[in-house]
Structure 1
Amino acid sequence: MFGCNAEKKDYAADESVSKEVVIADAADTTAAPKIIKTADMRFRVKDVQQTKEQLSATIKAQGGTVMEFSINSSIQESDKVKYSADSLKEITAYRKEGLVIAKIPSEKLDDFTNTVAKMAVFVDNQAMKMDDQSITYLANKLKAQNRVDAVNTINKTAKRQGNNVETSLNIKDDYVDKKIENMNIDSRVKFSTITLNFYQDNTVKTLIVGNDNLYDYRPGFFQRLGLSIVAGWSFLKEFILGVSTLWPFLAIGLGLFFGIKAYLRRRKV
């Protein structure tokens, strides 16, 4: 009986400690809400490359970090016109677009978006989203504390058996997952992610390139005419030589022709 009463007192003490932990965590979370901010902007600029450089400098000055960037050029239309005998003028209309994904200190996000808007010729759209993760953060924190208590209980009461060790390891892994998830929330609360899409008007660029039309590299008309005559004479000679190899058949044919002709003449007489 005394043992049971002592055990009940221990459980009551543990329950009171747990309640105090819950109240303390709830108070801490209420004092520091976990608000995650994300923003998106799309805008037109005069020059994509210069804007990318300005954005990188501004992000660095604000204490942020560029996480990803890319610049792409897509050809809208292209044509080649003759410029000289061996060269062409290539005329290309292309569109250049840029993408920058950065992390900015959350308290400077509004100022940063205002700075970016001043770089733009025209802002297509601008949006910001706020996600309150306070409840999720508190839940992870309380669950992590519960796992600490559970591991302590297992370590006190468990016998040296494999299944108890495995259960303890699973609980510890889950505890680590909750802690890492909260660390990720803290990082996203401290630094906001902003996605910047920007583009410039279609640009026309001309370039002198080599003539890749092989027909233009053929000789002139009279030169080709002389070459054709020479080629025809060569063909005629080859033809005569080829026919000359058939003289036995020609001789037999002539002999048959004259023989039949003489036979018919005799018959008529």
Structure 2
Amino acid sequence: MTDAEWAVVRDALPVPAWMNGKGGQPEGYCHRQMIDAVRYLVAGGITWRAMPADFPAWDRVYAFHRRWRLKGLLAELHDRLRGLVREAEGRDREPTAAVIDAQSLRAAPSVPRATSGWDNGKKVGGRKRHVVVDCLGLLLVVTVTAANVQDRDAAGPLLERLRDRFHKIVLVWADGGYAGRLVTWAAEKLRLTLEIVRRSDDASGFVVLPRCWVVERTLSWLMRSRRLVRDYEALPEVHEAMVLWSMTMLMSRRQARQRA
């Protein structure tokens, strides 16, 4: 990170428990070093043991990443950065509308067969990440499933998480893959309007769908991080954390440029 970007991240860092008198002890490494190391791994797609010698030992970096994932510190950092970006764009911190979509990925040999599958539509074997973003394309919630899980089946639990975390959201846009009983279920159980953006019958080839292009752009942003081009993680939860790290890089860089 540049000094300008670190200033953005430092202001958004979660407060450690030991500073609030809740126990624990200060960490042995600088947060800037550790965050830089994890971001290097996500952006470059390297393995943990291939961590360059300029960073702390790989097992210490891995322990930092694991602790932040399990304690919810990574999610807190991500949400704070998203709030800063939304405020800089003249938006309220909590969105009122969202867009949902999914993306299938090939799985590495290290991915267990129990958590992977075959997407017959995309002809891809591996996993599928389901995301919900706001109207700026910033991530709200993400979940990773086997590739053979239908978009509609994964959307139910994903929308429930969205409702629990963002009470102001009343409208969610989706493509034709989410049509059917899910629309009625979302309205009755979650009080969410799931609006299906349909493709025109006269259209041929690639067509940009209104509203839905926002989430497609977010999925392309994630593909800039080499660790996310394929699924290398043994646990789906770890892949979800890698998605959060990728989005924190995008948001902190954007904030640093705007402040400059």
Calculate the TM-score normalised by the size of structure 1. Answer: 0.20
Could you say which structure has the higher helix fraction? 1
Structure (1/2) with the larger strand percentage: 1
Please tell me whether Structure 1 or Structure 2 has the larger radius of gyration of its CA atoms.
1
